[in-house]
């Protein structure tokens, strides 16, 4: 009898270890290692991480890594794991540096069996990555910041893994919007989980200078803040030397190298505001409060410019331990140099051909400074244009050609082409996403990027060091938004740069995102969750119909979609979308997507409205529009009420309004002007038409159809459809003269778009 009870107890214990307690969460199923390892062989059995599990770390570097993961495991499990320099227990995680392994310097071998785990690598960095892989074999809850009760099981397997590329990077612009120390540290924590090893820190630009200068205190005072178009002050924001050192050390612990960028010879208006004598014209300058490219750049003919840049660079160099230093070099207009006597004298004196060679001359001066300090220079691909500095590494951003050319010339290259790797691009339809600077790059497109460009000589492939995703922050105002744009596309980049080409498989990556997202949740990362879009019609939030409206939904990757029709916010228990809707009466449809963890996307509201065709006017169609101009800055349409226009003219095309200045041209407060365009248009048949406008107000037949007042006009997501009868209709658009979030309305020339598609 006693024997029998013992057997029963043993049985119960075994059952509880493997199947009682929490059932495996759906997102924890399968192997979720990301980036995907080179080779993985599954074996039978499990290793159980317990209170008594011990790290074996035979030297100081390994001991530091063990401490890092002991602390992480402690947060999630509550266990205080031990550490020893020699193996004396079976339940151990043994870290060992071994020469001569068949992996590269960042690679590792991982072996998990039920009675022990071994990680071997040639370097501590390889060990660190082996440990990150081990974390990903545990339930996603291992990233939790407070203890979780679950079974900490690791499947038995062996992995041989190494990165395909040495350079696996993220860039962040902290000039347009500033991100504090805590934010940067949090990013380091999660980037390290995915084996990202470079962080390119864009520290200076026209709209702000974000690093202290001890030698030029006026920079700290003046260049670190701006008065925005709306009138508020942004800043002062900058990192002190001490803070920079703190971040560099924090990143180093996570095997991330931080590469500083000090931009030259363009994108320097913030510095010129403090040091106008370094410009061609002498100023006056304000820290720029609009985006785009400024014509005012450092004067290349002035020796003081080179002295200033040298001083700054020599202040910055000792703060960083990367062998690289980024000097910018992109988007430097030459129009000031063309007219500047000093710049022209420099061209003559140095026997340069033109202003492009003058730019290369400036870069070559800075290269000498960097070489003196044993730093390798990186520049954006424009540095190719007037002849490439001998030691330069090129970042190819305007496409792949710069990278191909530089590699064929024997230079190292980092691929960052906009079409695939710009994190400021839309990742879903603009009608459902927050406004961005433009572009459209889905997760799948980022994932599909191949860093070795077609057209590159195969014997030059070794010059492609890797790839980087860039996050410019003109339209990214908050840390939460910054994460929303970066994740999960940054994780796709991690797999693009780490995993072997033949291992990459987008469908499998998509599957793993549910698990990875729970890990990101533990770090409070606000990643993007696809929002439902229309599938077979345009994605608009106001849908007009006559007889019925079809709404079918899709997402940029497969997601469960939930909805409500009673105006309430959908939650994960709301009805699941399974088939298209056919509406025959007015409705409010609210939709959102749900992850396997239950986490949901933002809610999208679609108004569906039964209309009759708006009757046509008896007027004849005309090919002219009246444009009325009201000089000055106006924040509200009501400010124009009762005012007489300063000028009026007839124009054949609304795009040709007088005060449109072209994308990214300079616009100063004194140039602001509101424009009202009115006239007629005709439609060829009764129908439902698509209507889109970036104007503050758009009126059709005397009815307000679109209002964007006070919104960032560039991103106005207020497109709609509308029922119009065949014939002529009246239209009026009001565009206010102002600058909202760095976007002057006078950069836009599209007043409206009406089409039947």
Does 309 bind Zn ion (CB under 5 A)? Our answer is no
Q: Which does 342 bind (CB under 5 to 8 A by kind): Zn ion, ligand ACM, none?
A: Zn ion
Which is catalytic among the residues 315, 331, 639, 649? 331
Which is catalytic among the residues 106, 205, 263, 495? 205
Listed residue (672, 664, 693, 682) closest to 751, CA to CA: 693
Does 362 bind Zn ion (CB under 5 A)? Our answer is no
Of 422 and 613, CB closest to ligand ACM: 422
Q: Which does 299 bind (CB under 5 to 8 A by kind): Zn ion, ligand ACM, none?
A: Zn ion
Distant-in-sequence, close-in-space partners of 457: CB < 8 Å, separation ≥ 6: 407, 408
Which class for 715: exposed (0-12), middle (13-18), buried (19 or more C-beta within 10 A)?
Answer: buried
Q: Which does 340 bind (CB under 5 to 8 A by kind): Zn ion, ligand ACM, none?
A: Zn ion
One of 248, 280, 672, 731 touching Zn ion (CB under 5 A): 280
Smallest separation, CB 240 to ligand ACM (Å): 26
Site string for Zn ion, 364-403 (x = CB under 5 A): ----------------------------------------
Q: Which does 657 bind (CB under 5 to 8 A by kind): ligand ACM, Zn ion, none?
A: none
Estimate to the nearest angstrom the gap between the alpha carbon of 675 and the chain centroid.
34
Q: Which does 301 bind (CB under 5 to 8 A by kind): ligand ACM, Zn ion, none?
A: Zn ion
Distant-in-sequence, close-in-space partners of 370: CB < 8 Å, separation ≥ 6: 313, 317, 325, 327, 376, 377, 391
**Pair of tokens at residue 592:** 């959102």
Of 264 and 485, CB closest to Zn ion: 264
- 205 catalytic? Reply is yes
Residue 576 and residue 591: Cα distance in Å, rounded? 10
Smallest separation, CB 202 to Zn ion (Å): 24
Of 177 and 735, CB closest to ligand ACM: 177
Of 32 and 396, CB closest to ligand ACM: 396
- CA triple 168-172-177, angle to 5 deg: 170
Does 268 bind Zn ion (CB under 5 A)? Our answer is no
Does 56 bind Zn ion (CB under 5 A)? Our answer is no
Of 331 and 666, CB closest to ligand ACM: 331
Q: Which residues bind ligand ACM (CB under 6 A)?
A: 330-331, 380, 397
Of 37 and 260, CB closest to ligand ACM: 260
Smallest separation, CB 472 to ligand ACM (Å): 6
Q: Which does 577 bind (CB under 5 to 8 A by kind): Zn ion, ligand ACM, none?
A: none
Smallest separation, CB 131 to ligand ACM (Å): 34
Q: Which does 275 bind (CB under 5 to 8 A by kind): Zn ion, ligand ACM, none?
A: none
Residue 25 and residue 597: Cα distance in Å, rounded? 8
Half-sphere CA count of 125, side-chain side, radius 13 A: 18
Rule CB under 5 A: which of 317-356 touch Zn ion? 340, 342-343
- The residue to which tokens 């996307």 are assigned: 601
**Pair of tokens at residue 420:** 């695939």
Of 394 and 596, CB closest to ligand ACM: 394
Residue 296 and residue 264: Cα distance in Å, rounded? 12
Q: What are phi and psi of 130, to 5 degrees?
A: -60, -40
- 373 catalytic? Reply is no
Instruction: Kindly give the pairing relationship between strand 39-48 and strand 549-551.
Output: unpaired
Of 361 and 426, CB closest to Zn ion: 361
Q: Which does 380 bind (CB under 5 to 8 A by kind): Zn ion, ligand ACM, none?
A: ligand ACM
Of 128 and 380, CB closest to ligand ACM: 380
- The residue to which tokens 């744009």 are assigned: 485
Smallest separation, CB 264 to Zn ion (Å): 13
Q: Site size for Zn ion, by CB under 5 A?
A: 6
Smallest separation, CB 344 to Zn ion (Å): 8
Smallest separation, CB 321 to ligand ACM (Å): 24
Asked whether the beta carbons of 527 and 481 are under 8 A apart, the reply is: no
Q: What are phi and psi of 583, to 5 degrees?
A: -100, 135
Estimate to the nearest angstrom the gap between the alpha carbon of 348 and the chain centroid.
43
Q: Which does 331 bind (CB under 5 to 8 A by kind): ligand ACM, Zn ion, none?
A: ligand ACM
Smallest separation, CB 382 to ligand ACM (Å): 8
Listed residue (183, 73, 81, 59) closest to 131, CA to CA: 73
Using CA atoms of 302, 303, 304, 306 in order, give the dihedral in degrees to the nearest 10.
Answer: 110
Distances in Å between the Cα of 204 and the Cα atoms of 302, 320, 366, 472, 539 are: 20, 16, 16, 12, 38
One of 191, 299, 431, 596 touching Zn ion (CB under 5 A): 299
Listed residue (414, 331, 333) closest to 378, CA to CA: 414
Strand order, beta sheet including 647-651: 647-651, 625-631, 673-683, 727-735, 697-700, 703-707
Q: What sign results for the dihedral spanned by CA atoms 261, 262, 263, 268? A: positive
Of 47 and 201, CB closest to ligand ACM: 201
**Pair of tokens at residue 573:** 């228990």
Of 111 and 355, CB closest to Zn ion: 355
Does 476 bind Zn ion (CB under 5 A)? Our answer is no
Which is catalytic among the residues 267, 542, 634, 660? 267
Smallest separation, CB 215 to ligand ACM (Å): 27
Instruction: Kindly give the pairing relationship between strand 464-471 and strand 204-205.
Output: unpaired
Q: Which does 453 bind (CB under 5 to 8 A by kind): Zn ion, ligand ACM, none?
A: none
- Tell me if residue 426 falls in helix, strand or coil: strand
Smallest separation, CB 181 to ligand ACM (Å): 25
Give the range of 232-240, 266-274, 294-302, 369-377 binding Zn ion by CB under 5 A: 294-302
Distant-in-sequence, close-in-space partners of 222: CB < 8 Å, separation ≥ 6: 273, 274, 287
Does 49 bind Zn ion (CB under 5 A)? Our answer is no
Smallest separation, CB 474 to ligand ACM (Å): 11
- 200 catalytic? Reply is no
Asked whether the beta carbons of 733 and 693 are under 8 A apart, the reply is: yes
Does 278 bind Zn ion (CB under 5 A)? Our answer is no
Give the range of 177-185, 291-299, 314-322, 652-660 binding Zn ion by CB under 5 A: 291-299
Q: Which does 230 bind (CB under 5 to 8 A by kind): ligand ACM, Zn ion, none?
A: none
Does 301 bind Zn ion (CB under 5 A)? Our answer is yes
Half-sphere CA count of 19, side-chain side, radius 13 A: 4
Residue 681 and residue 226: Cα distance in Å, rounded? 43
Binding site for Zn ion (CB under 5 A): 280, 299, 301, 340, 342-343
Instruction: Kindly list the catalytic residues.
Output: 205, 267, 331
């Amino acid at each position: 009898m006693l024997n029998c009870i013992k057997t029963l107890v043993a049985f119960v214990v075994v059952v509880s270890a493997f199947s009682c307690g929490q059932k495996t969460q759906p997102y924890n199923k399968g192997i979720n290692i990301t980036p995907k390892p080179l080779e993985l062989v599954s074996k039978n059995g499990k290793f159980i991480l317990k209170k008594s599990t011990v790290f074996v770390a035979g030297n100081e570097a390994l001991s530091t890594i063990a401490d890092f993961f002991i602390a992480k495991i402690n947060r999630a499990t509550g266990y205080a794991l031990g550490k020893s320099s020699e193996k004396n227990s079976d339940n151990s995680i043994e870290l060992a540096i071994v020469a001569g392994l068949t992996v590269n310097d960042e690679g590792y071998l991982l072996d998990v069996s039920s009675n022990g785990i071994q990680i071997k690598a040639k370097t501590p960095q390889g060990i660190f990555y082996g440990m990150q892989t081990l974390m990903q074999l545990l339930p996603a809850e291992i990233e939790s910041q407070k203890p979780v009760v679950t079974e900490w099981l690791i499947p038995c397997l062996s992995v041989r893994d190494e990165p395909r590329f040495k350079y696996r990077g993220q860039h962040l612009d902290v000039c347009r919007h500033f991100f504090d120390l805590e934010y940067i540290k949090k990013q380091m924590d999660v980037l390290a989980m995915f084996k990202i090893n470079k962080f390119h820190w864009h520290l200076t630009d026209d709209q702000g200078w974000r690093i202290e200068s001890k030698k030029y205190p006026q920079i700290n005072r003046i260049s670190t803040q701006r008065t925005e178009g709306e009138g508020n002050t942004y800043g002062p924001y900058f990192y002190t030397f001490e803070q920079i050192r703190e971040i560099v050390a924090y990143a180093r612990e996570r095997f991330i190298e931080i590469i500083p960028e000090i931009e030259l010879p363009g994108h320097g208006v913030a510095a010129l505001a403090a040091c106008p004598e370094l410009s061609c014209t002498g100023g006056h300058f304000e820290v720029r409060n609009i985006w785009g490219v400024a014509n005012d750049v450092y004067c290349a003919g002035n020796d003081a410019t080179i002295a200033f840049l040298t001083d700054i660079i020599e202040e910055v160099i000792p703060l960083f331990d990367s062998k690289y230093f980024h000097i910018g070099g992109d988007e430097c207009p030459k129009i000031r140099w063309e007219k500047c006597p000093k710049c022209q004298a420099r061209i003559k004196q140095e026997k340069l051909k033109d202003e492009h060679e003058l730019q290369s001359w400036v870069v070559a001066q800075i290269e000498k400074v960097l070489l003196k300090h044993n730093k390798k220079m990186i520049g954006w691909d424009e540095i190719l244009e007037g002849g490439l500095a001998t030691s330069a590494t090129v970042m190819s951003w305007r496409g792949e050609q710069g990278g191909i050319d530089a590699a064929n010339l024997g230079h190292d290259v980092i691929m960052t082409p906009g079409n695939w790797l710009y994190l400021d691009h839309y990742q879903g339809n603009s009608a459902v996403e927050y406004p961005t600077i433009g572009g459209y790059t889905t997760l799948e497109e980022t994932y599909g990027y191949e860093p070795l460009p077609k057209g590159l000589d195969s014997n030059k492939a070794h010059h492609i060091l890797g790839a980087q995703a860039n996050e410019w922050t003109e339209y990214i105002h908050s840390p939460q938004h910054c994460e929303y744009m970066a994740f999960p596309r940054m994780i796709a980049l991690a797999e693009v740069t780490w995993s072997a080409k033949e291992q990459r498989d987008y469908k499998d990556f998509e599957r793993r995102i549910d698990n990875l997202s729970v890990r990101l949740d533990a770090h409070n990362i606000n990643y993007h969750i696809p929002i439902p879009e229309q599938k077979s019609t345009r994605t608009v939030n106001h849908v007009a119909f006559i007889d019925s409206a079809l709404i079918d939904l899709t997402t940029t990757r497969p997601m469960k979609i939930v909805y409500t029709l009673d105006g309430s916010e959908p939650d994960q228990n709301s009805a699941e979308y399974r088939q298209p809707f056919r509406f025959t009466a007015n409705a409010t449809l609210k939709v959102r997507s749900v992850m396997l963890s239950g986490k949901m996307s933002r809610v999208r509201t679609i108004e569906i409205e039964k209309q009759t065709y708006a009757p046509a006017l008896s007027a004849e169609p005309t090919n002219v529009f009246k444009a009325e101009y009201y000089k000055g800055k106006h924040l509200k349409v009501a400010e124009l009420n009762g005012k007489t226009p300063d000028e009026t003219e007839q124009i054949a095309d609304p795009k040709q309004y007088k005060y449109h200045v072209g994308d990214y041209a300079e616009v100063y407060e004194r140039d602001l002007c509101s424009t009202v365009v009115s006239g007629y248009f005709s439609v060829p048949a009764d129908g439902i038409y698509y209507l889109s406008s970036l104007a503050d107000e758009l009126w059709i037949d005397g009815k307000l159809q679109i209002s964007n007042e006070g919104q960032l006009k560039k991103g106005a997501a207020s497109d709609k459809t509308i029922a119009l009868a065949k014939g002529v209709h009246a239209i009026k658009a009001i565009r206010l003269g102002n600058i909202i979030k760095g976007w002057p309305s006078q950069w836009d020339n599209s007043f409206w778009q009406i089409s039947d598609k």
